[in-house]
Amino acid sequence: MHEAATTPVHYLWLIPLFPALGVVFNAFIGPRLGKSAISVVAPAAVGAAFLTGCYAFSTLLQLPPGSALVQQVYPWITAGTLQVDVAFRIDALSAVMVLIVSGVGFLIHVYSVGYMAHDPSFARYFTYLNLFTLAMLTLVLADNLPLLFVGWEGVGLCSYLLIGFWYTVDANADAGKKAFIVNRIGDAGFLLGLFLLFWNLGSGAHSLSFGEISEHAKTIPSGTLTAIALLFFVGATGKSAQLPLYVWLPDAMAGPTPVSALIHAATMVTAGVYMIARLHVLYLLAPSALTVVATIGALTALFAATIGLLQNDIKKVLAYSTVSQLGYMFLGVGVGAFGAGIFHLMTHAFFKGLLFLGAGSVIHGMGGEQDMQKMGGLRHHMPITFWTFVFATIAITGIPGFAGFFSKDEILAQAFGSPHGSPWLWAIGFVAAGLTSFYMYRLLFLTFFGDCRADDRTRHHLHESPLTMTLPLMVLAVLSALGGYIHLPAFLEPVFGHEAGHIEATTEHLLMAASVAVALAGLGLAYLFYMVQPGLPMVLAYKAAGLYNLIYNKYWVDELYDALFVHPTVVVSTWLWRIFDVGVIDALVNGTAETVAANSGLWRRLQTGNLQQYAVSMLLGAVAILGYLAWR
């Protein structure tokens, strides 16, 4: 990224302003005007941000490659030589992110109007949803790291509010707290990286803008640069749910389903990938940190894919799928293919947003049921949901012609042929691709094919979702089919100023053929297990009970964390509370109060209200004073 060819404009601030106005309206005015007004204003606020982003994007396309639109809104932090402004920037990278966040976000807002129609906290929901969009737009528009961190923390707050939206249920409130706490661990790493970067930039750190960082990064010693890059990656592992900080994301399913689509498809979880792509200069100067990013990404993709094989909650399957697909994105940026990573981020926003919204449509049609074991045959009752879900499933599994095929194969090819890649990274991604195909077609067959396994009451309730929900599904289905034809890596190349590895055409075609073959193998195996011989999975589960229980119970990672971290923390906290809090702090505070009370009680006895006693006391006092003076 270069500072040359920047064009000042005066309208970028409108992009976050519109959702900010939506927040104010939904919080203070909307409850008085009713749901109809909120149903219009909340999506319209995000739609206005999308249109403004489109205008900025069209302006950017008229400029030479590598150009950027910038706006200095107002001075923010002034301390010595440090001058941080509230400043926005749109280049090819941030333009793509703005359009994804506001475009897919708009569709999710429209969908939410139907999905949340009967919720009593309708206004509060859209207040949080607009606030979430505001925070994410601030993050991707920021021209400097401190402002990016404001948006970074904003999406963390909003995830807590939205995951625990139905907070009267303890499990939902606990899920919100879990997301908040795990993200604070990652954010501590981010802050340490930010402080270390500022300290080592020295006289070059005047604004901590990304252009300034790129210009002066080479002056930082390589070891320190590696530490900075790894600390930022710790933040990314928390926000984007990578090993070992992925555990909050599956529990985030406690929130309303459109929230899952917003958090897991277009916004919060992609922030870590965007941040590493934005700081690509640091990572290219710290190749060992890139290796860590790629390795963690590959292992996360495989690990989460194995868990997705045996989940029965339709949203949990998609949650672990999100963790796995984020691993692919980190694999891409970790081998230096930043454009490929962002390309998969975009296509994932389309097909994963569609999958979550499709799952929400299924849950809505089944009266709240989420267990796939109690579904089946829904394609007859919900044809629009079914066909759009088919499009999304084909896209995520990498079948040629659909969006996921192009972006996933770009990552796998670069993992194999990039100077920062290796065959074993490709092999892990390859196996994860096969597992993805299997669990996604398993989900499709269990949900939409065969006989309906729901009870009579649920069968009676089955119906297609309203147009406010199915229209966004259809739009996202089109994007899931056609989004891969946007050759995004080439568009982003001027931002990164870095070409990924060159791969021979023959090698690329062989890798592509292998990728398609493993995707079809996953499809065939799922068809065999759940359509041809539906009893076969139970037989295999019985014969391999140990492995089955290990994967079904998600490797007992939550239980392990509970034993290693949560329980000891509670024990120590309880001990400190009883010994230090109660025994020391409370004793000091309460002891002071008791001393004052005892003193007051003693002196109160002298305040009898008897004038004769007061006169005698005064006389005795006067005699004592005169006696003392005479003695001296």
Ramachandran angles phi, psi of 209, nearest 5°: -75, 160
CB 430 within 8 A of CB 514: yes
Q: How are beta strands 82-90 and 6-8 bridged, if at all?
A: unpaired
Determine if the peptide bond prior to 244 is cis (ω within 30°): yes
Percentage of the chain modeled with pLDDT above 90: 83
Lowest mean pLDDT among 241-255, 365-379, 483-497, 499-513: 499-513
d(CA 431, CA 507): 18
Please give the full DSSP string across 390-428, using - where no structure is assigned.
HHHHHHHTT-TTSHHHHHHHHHHHHHHHSTT--HHHHHH
CB 214 within 8 A of CB 205: no
pLDDT band per the 50, 70, 90 thresholds, residue 501: low
Quote the pLDDT of residue 437: 98
pLDDT band per the 50, 70, 90 thresholds, residue 12: very high
| pLDDT over threshold 60, residue 450 | yes
pLDDT band per the 50, 70, 90 thresholds, residue 499: low
Residues 6+ apart with CB under 8 A from 454: 366, 369, 374, 375, 376, 462
Quote the pLDDT of residue 457: 86
Which residues make beta-bridge pairs with 79?
Answer: 82
| pLDDT over threshold 90, residue 80 | no
User: 568: which 2 tokens?
Assistant: 């000891």
d(CA 414, CA 420): 9
Q: How many CB atoms lie within 10 A of CB 588?
A: 10
Average pLDDT, the chain: 93
Percentage of the chain modeled with pLDDT above 70: 98
Residues 201-239 pLDDT 10s: 877 678 899 999 999 999 999 999 999 999 999 999 999
CB 332 within 8 A of CB 338: yes
d(CA 27, CA 34): 12
CB 362 within 8 A of CB 471: no
CB 372 within 8 A of CB 313: yes
- Average pLDDT for 352-379: 94
d(CA 452, CA 369): 13
Quote the pLDDT of residue 60: 96
Burial 134-149 (b: 16+ CB within 10 A, else e): bbbbbbbbbbbbbbbb
Please give the full DSSP string across 554-577, using - where no structure is assigned.
GGGHHHHHIIIIIHHHHHHHHHHI
Rounded to 5°, angle at Cα 379 from 374 and 381: 85
Residues 6+ apart with CB under 8 A from 445: 526, 527, 530, 531
In the chain, where are the structural domains located? 6-552, 556-631
Lowest mean pLDDT among 28-32, 76-80, 321-325, 347-351: 76-80
CB 276 within 8 A of CB 228: no
pLDDT band per the 50, 70, 90 thresholds, residue 264: confident
Which residues make beta-bridge pairs with 85?
Answer: 75
Instruction: Name the amino acid, one letter, at 451.
Output: D
User: 136: which 2 tokens?
Assistant: 């994410």
pTM of the complete model: 0.92
> What Å distances lie between residue 77 and 82, 83, 275, 559, CA to CA?
7, 6, 22, 44
Quote the pLDDT of residue 2: 43
Residues present in the chain in total: 632
- Average pLDDT for 16-26: 98
Which residues make beta-bridge pairs with 72?
Answer: 87
d(CA 48, CA 182): 33
Nearest C-alpha neighbor of 104 from the set 47, 26, 36, 42 = 47
Instruction: Name the amino acid, one letter, at 226.
Output: T
Nearest C-alpha neighbor of 57 from the set 497, 498, 488 = 488
Q: How many CB atoms lie within 10 A of CB 484?
A: 27
d(CA 421, CA 428): 12
Quote the pLDDT of residue 266: 73
pLDDT band per the 50, 70, 90 thresholds, residue 498: low
Nearest C-alpha neighbor of 85 from the set 141, 1, 152 = 141
- Average pLDDT for 53-66: 96
Quote the pLDDT of residue 1: 41
DSSP three-state, residue 243: coil
d(CA 476, CA 222): 44
Ramachandran angles phi, psi of 568, nearest 5°: -60, -35
Burial 308-317 (b: 16+ CB within 10 A, else e): bbbbeebbbb
Residues 345-356 pLDDT 10s: 999 999 999 999
Lowest mean pLDDT among 15-29, 245-259, 384-398, 493-507: 493-507
Quote the pLDDT of residue 3: 44
User: 577: which 2 tokens?
Assistant: 């509370």
| pLDDT over threshold 90, residue 481 | yes
Residues 148-177 pLDDT 10s: 999 999 999 999 999 999 999 999 999 999
